[in-house]
Structure formats: C-alpha cells, structure tokens
A and B are shown apart, each in its own frame.
Chain A
Amino acid sequence: MNTAVVVFPGSNCEHDVVYALETLGGSADLVWHRDTDLSGYDSVVLPGGFAHGDYLRTGAIARFSPVMGEVNRLAAAGAPVLGICNGFQVLCEAGLLPGVLLQNRDLKFICRPIHLRVESTDSILTRAARVGDVLEIPLNSYEGNYTASADEIASIETGGYVPLRYSSSTGTVDTDSNPNGSTNNIAAVSKSNVAGIMPHPERAIEEILGSADGRVLLESFLQSRVAVNV
C-alpha cells in the first residue's frame, strides 16, 4: 500500500515528502490534483507550496480541486491524511480541520528552524514520540498564524487535538517562543486520522540537513496506516 502525495498547481514540497517517506521505509506516489481515483492508497499527504497561487485565500481554491472528493473519502474511511504547511491550510479550508491560518503576527515570512514541544502522543503525527520531547523543525510560511473562534479553541484544547506547540529549545511554551502569533502556540492540529502541521518535518529527516527530528513525526504517520476499506 502507498501514500498519495497530492500535487496542486503551485505545490513545491511534494518531492521532499516522497523522498522522506521512502527514506523512512514507506512508498509514495505523486498524484495530480485532477485525479479522481485514489483507490489503492492507504494514506494521503497534502504537501507545502502555494496551491493555485494562494489566490483569494490560502487553500480556498485547492479545496475544490477534483482530487479532494477522494481525500474526503479516505479521511472518512480512517486513512491517515496529513497536511503540511500549505496542505494544513487546505485541510482547514476544506473543513477537515477546524480553524484558519492567518498572516504571521509580525507580517514577515518566516523561514528558519523553530522548536516544537510534543504535547500528546494521541495523534497520527506523534504516536511514536514522547510527551515533552522538543523537536527542531524548519518553519517556512507567511500565513502560519493559527486562529479559530474562542469556542473552537476551547473544544480543540479540551479534545486534546493539539499534538505540538511552538516552544523554546528547552520546551518552554510562551509568547517569546511563538514565532507567528498562533493561538496558544498551536503548531499542529490533529483530529482522529486527519492532521495538519505548519513546520516541515520532511525537511528535517537527515542530520546533514541540520536536524533529523522530523523523522519521528513522519514515522508516526506511516505507523498510523491501518487496513482501511478503500
């Protein structure tokens, strides 16, 4: 069984994702956004980039790409569906995850390694990690400021849907360690078998790239695949 890595016009991290998944023992194919048959795939990644140029709002047009019908079907069938960066924005627009990603608090494009603290291991991103682990992963976004209504934030927090928060290198979660203004330092949201993460684990899987801390997140994703009836 294979992971489908969706390519929208404007995606630009799809090859990194395929490389990372294959390096970690998975197998993955690139799938064009007009494809309407993902039978044979047991998991999906929506990679980073600028799908449809980010026109209107990030993810606003991508959510209507023909492939999204299949992404919804796989999500409903229990297959792990992971959105990274722009893919996270698409999942929010598609209503598969709550909330929205606004421009960064300081209106700067952020492109640097940041730290994440593992808050919960009950997610397709962190099941192989340990609570309290601090991971160093690159962040690369302008619209990374996670926001939702007060009611939604309350339900996200009480539901335990936050597997990762922005932190200092020692694991302190506060305003100083919040790179983009995300509510409660939320860096990833995970609901059942669907998750979105703003930083790029696929760019941190080998020490030669500066960090291999992304491995545990993508290994968690690969381990989350189950025999789904697709």
Chain B
Amino acid sequence: MADTRTVTVTIRRRPSISDPQGATVARALRDLGHEVTDVRIDKTIELQVPDGDVETIRARVAEMCDRLLANPVMEDYEILVSS
C-alpha cells in the first residue's frame, strides 16, 4: 500500500541483562550437538504507519519505543524504516 510504510522495531535485552530463555535454548542446541557460545532472544515488532518523511517517522517510532515498547532499564531498540 502506497500510503503506509512498514517499520520494524527490534528490542533487545541489554548485554548486562541476563537472558535465561536464551541460555536455556543455547543449552538445548548444545545438547543437539551444535556449537553455540551464546543465544539471545529478541522481540521484533512490525508497525504500519502513515507514510511520510522518513526521519519524522523514525522520530515518532523512537518516541513509541521510549514510552511503551521498550523499557530502558533492561532493553535497547533498533528502528528499521522500510524503503
């Protein structure tokens, strides 16, 4: 659709925050014989937003992340605005 744009937000736990789910999956992969040193499980959120200036969209989505989507105590985020 021409009048909307897809924005993908990836939310990751900060490196200093433990990820027990990732650690469990890493153990399971090793049990299956795979060589894995670390696993981190992230969250991906895909948004459809009204199309417009890319920098404006990026700033709006950053505000969404700061207010609701991510918790700065434990998470970092990355915003990808589709071209």
Contact = CB atoms under 8 A, between A and B. Distances in A.
Interface of B (DSSP majority class): loop
Interface residues of A, number: 22
Contact of A107 (B24, B68, B69): B24
Contacts of B16: 149-150
A177 interface: no
A93 interface: yes
Contacts of B21: 103, 107
Contacts of A107: 20-21, 24
B68 A103 contact: no
B51 to A, nearest CB: 25
B26 to A, nearest CB: 13
Contact of B69 (A56, A93, A102): A56
A131 interface: no
A93 B71 CA distance: 8
A141 B18 CA distance: 18
B52 to A, nearest CB: 25
A105 B21 CA distance: 9
29 contacts: A56-B68, A56-B69, A57-B71, A61-B68, A64-B68, A92-B73, A93-B71, A98-B73, A99-B73, A100-B71, A100-B74, A102-B17, A102-B18, A102-B20, A103-B20, A103-B21, A104-B20, A105-B18, A105-B20, A107-B21, A107-B24, A147-B17, A147-B18, A147-B73, A149-B16, A150-B16, A152-B73, A181-B18, A181-B20
Interface of A: 56-57, 60-61, 64, 92-93, 98-100, 102-107, 147-150, 152, 181
